[in-house]
Amino acid sequence: MIGALDKATRQLFEALDRKDAEALNQSLTQDVQGVDEISRRWMRGADALGTYFRQTMTMVQDIHSTVNDVHETVHGEIGVVTCWLEQDYLLGGKRTHVSAPTTVAFRRESDAWKTLLIHSVPLPPEET
């Protein structure tokens, strides 16, 4: 059975795949933090991440995300998901693949799990 945080994580990446900036913004806490893998910087606050989502949607096409190896833990009003993200997209016409251990932290607000932290660290391809 899929847990509430697993479901929230999948919904987050499904909204990203649809390029649904409004759904992404509605899923955030006001004090959310995240890492932008493209510009390699931290983003802090719902306004910063909202701006990032809107700008990214104009630069990135054909997003496909798969979330695997999901583990969720709940500690009161805080929940943490660790998972593995496989993601493909077009950036500037160039096909890009991301394989990344990912952490998403949530906080329960008004009976809903809101995204508090998105931390994904893409790894280089394994050498063969």
pLDDT tens across 59-101, in order?
999 999 999 999 999 999 999 999 999 999 999 899 999 999 9
pLDDT at residue 124, rounded to an integer: 78
Q: Are 101 and 121 contacting, i.e. CB atoms less than 8 angstroms apart?
A: yes
CATH topology classification for 4-120: Nuclear Transport Factor 2; Chain: A, (3.10.450)
Q: Which residue(s) pair with 81 in the sheet?
A: 72, 104
Q: Are 65 and 16 contacting, i.e. CB atoms less than 8 angstroms apart?
A: yes
Rounded Cα–Cα distance for residues 116 and 5 (Å)? 12
Percentage of residues of the chain with pLDDT beyond 70: 98
Q: Which amino acid is at 77?
A: E
Q: How far is CA 14 from the centre of its chain?
A: 9
Is the pTM higher than 0.85? The answer reads: yes
pLDDT at residue 94, rounded to an integer: 94
Q: Are 82 and 103 contacting, i.e. CB atoms less than 8 angstroms apart?
A: yes
Does residue 120 or residue 125 have the better pLDDT?
120
Mean pLDDT of the chain, nearest integer: 93
